[in-house]
Chain A
Amino acid sequence: MNPSSPDHHLCSDHCGENPTVWDLPHVPLGLKREWLDLETRRHFLGQGVKALGWAGLATLLGRSAPKLLANAPILGAPTMLPHYAPKAKRAIYLFMAGSPSQIETWDDKPALADLFDKDLPESVRGGQTLTGMTASQTRFPIAPSVYKFARQGKAGRFVSELFPYTAKVSDELCVIKSLYTDAINHEPAILQLTTGNMFPGKPSIGSWLSYGLGAMNAELPTFVVMTSKMPHRTNVQALSNRLWSSGFLSPEHAAVALRSGSDPVLYLNNPKGVSSDVRRAMIDGVNDLNRQLFERVGDPEINARISQYEMAFRMQTSVPELTDFSKEPQSTWDLYGPKAKEPGTFAYNCLMARRLAERGVRFTQIFLRSWDQHSRLPTNIKLMAEDSDQPTYALITDLKRRGLLDDTVVIWGGEFGRTVYSQGTLTADNYGRDHHPRCFSMWMAGGGVKPGISFGETDEFSYNIVKNPMHIRDLHATILHLFGLDHNKLSFKFQGLDQKLTGVLPSKVINDLLA
């Protein structure tokens, strides 16, 4: 009956007269735990045993109550202890949605210059299915990067001239050039990166961390998401909350999306004329009603609702303090640049991410869209880089000087790569690139990641991986590892499977990336 080893797979109708909540099928384990927790507290310590909606289980629970009680964790408490001592306490994930081209950013291919407008050999493509956007092209002309790379930092890494600021922290970065993914279109590819699965409905990385490790600061959400204003808009993908949902995990593990503007969390402020006391009384009243409903129907989702109300109330004080940048010293503005004062910009969000990290928020994900350069890539990628380069550098520098980088892992990247051949007409200064799942680059920094290295290699066309291929699953396994979690053990029983962020296909921690 230990909740951490629920190896009872009995159906309730096989349990004779004594099923316990653990034996009920089709109910997520976490919900069972919560149910049990409230059940035991309320009915055994409180008014005693009562018959309940769930087949009179309370009566039956009496049998094993003390044992169950000992095992039932408190609501919101972590599901487990890290399997080993963590290196990272928090992560900040800079999600470059739309996917920046690896060829202009981190996968330097100087030799391509000689192959300008030559056809990409058929053998390199190897019969790959292309997207509808380029499948009908008669030619696949090679488009070298118009941006040059130069050696930077002590490690002498080649960094693109698109990133003059990030170049200054090049020695902090661990650049992975050999990531690959299964999806060739944005929505499934973004989902696969954020939740480990192309299909909606799975918990996001941040939700898994919240579920596994709990909160460091109970006054703020464990998982926060921000979307950023775009410096320009072309081919912008919609972002929806399924990218940061808790899936089958309890809803309290979903991200809270911080909005830009005066109302960072919607409906958090009291309506005009409603004082905090009145608000408190109202929440107490609603919670009471919810509890009564819970007693009647026993649906654990109701408890999640109650805890959301409580979190919202706590955020009424914690969020204004969080979003009040007035006490930031001038050095902050010098570092992040003037745009950091404008709510909703990427720069502002990076500064917010540092403030969230300081306050113990485990997982912050910032989306910056409009990297999807099917055409006019040279112009548009520059706009994107100009918008994000300084804040990215600032975030790393700021975390580092405040002693936070050691236990905060920063992750940068899009959802797939882009093709070496031009989509549409290729000229000396203009081209586009189509989606390319076979290889792409990302970087990580801090939080126990080995600084200053590059991992993996692609062929001369940045088309196929020739060394150290790393699937998204391996990235996920490695991120969890940094948090002290074994990706095979962080699981949740749902629909008959021990569901994991890394799914059922083989995945591994990439030890070469660890400091």
Chain B
Amino acid sequence: MTSWLNASFSGLSRAAAGRQAVAVIVSVARRHGDRRRPYALFALLAAGALAVSARGEDTFFAQRVAPIFEQKCVACHGEKKQKGKLRLDSFAQLMRGGEGGGVVKAGAPKASELFIRVTMDPEDEDFMPADSKPPLTPDEVKVLELWIAAGASETTSLAAIKGAPALAARKAPVAALAPDWHPRAAQIAQFEKSTGLRLVPRSAVPTDGLVLRTASAPTRCDDAALAQLAPLADLVVEAELARTKITDVGLVSLATFSNLCALDLTRTAVTSGGLGTLVPLQKLESINLTSTEVDDTGVARLKQLPALRKTWVFGTRVSTVAEDPAAAK
């Protein structure tokens, strides 16, 4: 007895003390099933009754509804946590409902617990997502409403439900910029130790690549150090080589950095001749040549780089510097 009492109290930590007595009574009632919402069954029936018009990926549920849960709810209602005994990580789980029974009443959004929870006053302690997590956008709410109104089915096709707000330009799934560096952590540490340079992960995402960072000791970074980096070259997406000792010889090593996106060569001894060796860098998006001896011929060589969008040539011999330095591209 005490254990479930405790549980209900802790589950209601957000409730005002005065409401707790009431809450306990409610949970007793819930335990006895009195307040269980019986409509999950209806929903399942309704779903089954609809013709199987689409499968898997093309359904409204998979395309529009599930991603909302995934993004805003599953952290608390998924495999790891099941707040309110509810899981929202699959259609079947959703239909199973939570502590209080079914949460979706097919055809009746306003009578569906799930819909009520996301549309009530955000200040209400029952509002979902809980704990001031980012609420659903009006568009997302609309999607849920349309879906429930149309029968809350797993199989209804995307096309069958009209009037859904257009998807916000969905960010393309972030492609891996480089292979996961973790398996080569020991090699990375070894390189850092022997050269005094740093290989810093760009983010906690293991495939976001590494930054070659030399700011602490730029003069320790020379052509030989770059050559040493060869076994790890594919991990480096950004090379900060400003003020280092690298020369055109080092550029030959750099040409093997197949995932390199950004290259800073500010105030180095590289020349126009050397830049030609960078042509294999298919992913290079920006190159900084500030305060180098590079001239127009070097910049012309860079034209062959397919991904290159930004070239900085301030303080070089390049003649085509824009009039207004602020407008330099």
Complex: how many Å from CA A392 to CA B208? 34
Is the Cβ of B326 less than 8 Å from the Cβ of A396? yes
**Are B203 and A86 in contact, with the CB atoms below 8 A?**
yes
Query: Which of A335, A402, A484 is close to B266, meaning CB atoms less than 8 Å apart?
Result: A402
Pair A401/B326 contact, Cβ less than 8 Å? yes
Q: Are A217 and B314 in contact (CB under 8 A)?
A: no
**Residues in chain A near residue B328, CB distance under 8 A:** 400-401
Across the interface, do B288 and A85 meet the contact criterion of CB distance under 8 Å?
no
In the complex, whether B201 has a CB less than 8 A from a CB of chain A is yes
**Given contact pairs A216-B215, A403-B286, A358 touches B242 in the complex (Cβ within 8 A):** yes
Interface string of B191-222 (1 = CB under 8 A from A): 00000000001111100100001011100000
| Contact surface of A with B, Cβ cutoff 8 Å | 80-86, 168-169, 172, 215-219, 329, 331, 335, 358-360, 396-397, 400-403, 406, 484, 506, 508
Query: In the complex, what residues of A have CB within 8 A of residue B201's CB?
Result: 81
Q: How many A-B contacts at CB < 8 Å in the complex?
A: 72
Inter-chain CA distance A329–B286, complex, in Å, is: 25
B316-329 vs A, Cβ < 8 Å mask (1 yes, 0 no): 00000000111010
In Å, the complex CA distance between A306 and B264 comes to: 34
Verify if B310 is at the interface (C-beta below 8 Å from A). Answer: yes
- Contact partner of B202 (CB less than 8 A), chosen from A85, A168, A401, A508, is A85
A403–B326 contact, CB under 8 A? no
- 27 contacting pairs across A/B (C-beta < 8 A): A80-B204, A81-B201, A81-B203, A82-B204, A83-B203, A83-B204, A85-B202, A85-B205, A216-B216, A217-B215, A218-B216, A335-B325, A359-B215, A360-B216, A396-B326, A400-B326, A401-B290, A401-B312, A401-B326, A402-B288, A402-B314, A403-B288, A403-B310, A406-B310, A484-B202, A484-B203, A506-B132
Chain B residues, Cβ within 8 Å of A83: 203-204
How far is it, in angstroms, between the C-alpha of A80 and the C-alpha of B134 when the chains are bound? 23
Check A402 against B216 for contact (C-beta < 8 Å): no
A396 nearest in chain B by CB position: B326
Alpha-carbon distance between A84 and B215 when the two chains are bound, in angstroms: 22
Report, nearest first, the 9 A-B pairs whose CB atoms are least far apart: A360-B215, A403-B312, A217-B215, A403-B288, A401-B314, A81-B204, A218-B216, A85-B203, A401-B325
**Complex Cα–Cα for A169 and B286 (A):** 22
Q: Do residues A86 and B202 form an inter-chain contact, with CB atoms below 8 A? A: yes
Q: A490–B56 Cα gap in the complex (Å)? A: 39
Given A217-B216, A403-B286, A403-B290, 17 additional A-B pairs, CB 8 A: A81-B204, A82-B203, A85-B202, A85-B203, A168-B326, A215-B216, A216-B215, A219-B217, A335-B325, A358-B242, A358-B266, A360-B215, A397-B325, A401-B325, A401-B326, A402-B266, A484-B202
Chain B: interface size category: 20 to 34
Query: Which B116-175 residues have a C-beta within 8 angstroms of A?
Result: 132, 134
Contacts of B312 on A, CB cut-off 8 Å? Answer: 401-403
- Interchain nearest-CB distance for B25 vs A (Å): 32
Residues on the A chain within 8 Å of B132, using CB: 506
- Which residues of the other chain, A, contact B205 by a CB distance below 8 angstroms? 84-85
What per-residue 1/0 map shows which CB atoms of B283-303 lie under 8 Å from chain A?
000101010000000000000
- Smallest Cβ-Cβ distance to A507: which chain B residue: B132
User: Hey, which bits of chain B sit against chain A, CB under 8 A?
Assistant: 132, 134, 201-205, 208, 213, 215-217, 242, 264, 266, 286, 288, 290, 310, 312, 314-315, 324-326, 328
Q: Are A85 and B208 in contact (CB under 8 A)?
A: yes
A76 and B215 CA atoms in complex are apart in Å by: 15
Quote the shortest CB–CB distance from A159 to chain B (angstroms). 14
A329→B215 contact, CB < 8 A: no
For A401, list chain B residues within 8 Å (CB): 290, 312, 314, 325-326, 328
Q: Shortest beta-carbon distance, A217 to chain B, in Å?
A: 4
Q: How far is the CB of B268 from chain A (nearest CB, A)?
A: 13
Residues of A within 8 A of B208 (CB): 85
Collect the chain B residues with CB atoms within 8 Å of residue A86's CB: 202-203
CA distance A335 to B203 in the complex (A): 36
A53 CB, min distance to chain B CBs, angstroms: 32
Q: Which residues from chain A contact B310 at a C-beta distance below 8 Å? A: 403, 406
* Interface-central residue, A82, A85, A360, A400, by most chain B CB under 10 Å: A85
**CA separation between A293 and B171, bound complex, in Å?**
55
Name which residue of chain A comes closest to B289, CB basis: A403
Query: Complex formed: what's the CA distance from A236 to B313 in Å?
Result: 42
What is the chain B residue whose CB lies nearest that of A84? Answer: B203
B242 cross-chain contacts in A, Cβ below 8 A: 358
Q: Is the CB of A216 within 8 A of B203?
A: no
Q: Would B213 and A397 count as touching, CB distance under 8 A?
A: no
Query: What separation, in Å, do the CA atoms of A134 and B254 have in the docked complex?
Result: 65
Residue of B nearest to A393 (CB): B326
- The docked-state distance in angstroms from the alpha carbon of A392 to that of B85 is 56
B203 touches A397 (CB 8 A): no
Q: For B266, what are the chain A residues with a Cβ–Cβ distance below 8 Å?
A: 358, 402-403
Kindly state the separation between the CA atoms of A397 and B326 in the bound complex, as whole angstroms: 5
Closest A residue to B264 by beta carbon equals: A403
How near does chain A come to B318, taking the closest CB pair, in angstroms?
12
With CB as the reference atom, state the residue of chain B lying closest to A508.
B134
**Which residue of A is nearest B206, CB measured?**
A81
Q: Within the assembled complex, what's the spacing in Å between the Cα atoms of A208 and B201? A: 19
Bound state CA distance, A21 and B207, in angstroms?
34
- Shortest beta-carbon distance, B172 to chain A, in Å? 15
* Bound Cα distance A141, B283 (Å): 61
A403 vs B325: C-alpha distance when bound (angstroms): 11
A508–B133 CA distance with the chains assembled, in angstroms: 10
Bound CA span A331–B291, Å: 12
In the bound complex, do residue B202 and residue A82 qualify as a contact, i.e. CB atoms below 8 Å apart? yes
**Within the complex, what minimum Cβ distance (angstroms) separates B323 from chain A?**
12
Distance of B280 from chain A, by nearest CB (Å): 22
Q: When the two chains form the complex, which single residue of B213, B290, B314 contacts A216, counting CB atoms closer than 8 Å? A: B213
On whether the beta carbons of A169 and B203 are closer than 8 Å, the reply is no
Name B321's closest neighbour in chain A (CB-CB). Answer: A401
Task: Look across to chain A and name the residue whose beta carbon is closest to the beta carbon of B201.
Answer: A81
Distance in angstroms between the alpha carbons of A508 and B132 in the assembled complex: 10
Shortest distance between the CB of A243 and any CB in chain B (Å): 26
Q: How far is the CB of B166 from chain A (nearest CB, A)?
A: 18
- A400 and B288 CA atoms in complex are apart in Å by 11
Q: Which residues of B contact A172 (CB under 8 A)?
A: 326
Provide the residues of chain A in CB contact with B202, threshold 8 Å. Answer: 82, 85-86, 484
Chain A's closest residue to B208 (CB) is A85
B216 touches A169 (CB 8 A): no
CA distance A402 to B243 in the complex (A): 13
In the complex, what residue of chain B is closest to A405 when comparing beta carbons?
A: B326
Which residues of chain B have C-beta atoms less than 8 A from A84's C-beta? 203-205
**B217 proximity list for chain A (CB < 8 A):** 219
A172 to B314, CA, bound (A): 18
CA gap between A331 and B290 in the complex, in Å: 14
CB-based nearest A residue for B314: A401
- How far does the alpha carbon of A140 sit from the alpha carbon of B310 in the complex, in Å? 52
Chain A CB within 10 A, most for which of B134, B201, B315, B325? B325
Smallest CB–CB gap between A148 and chain B, Å?
23
Nearest CB on B from A96, distance (A): 22
CA distance A434 to B64 in the complex (A): 51
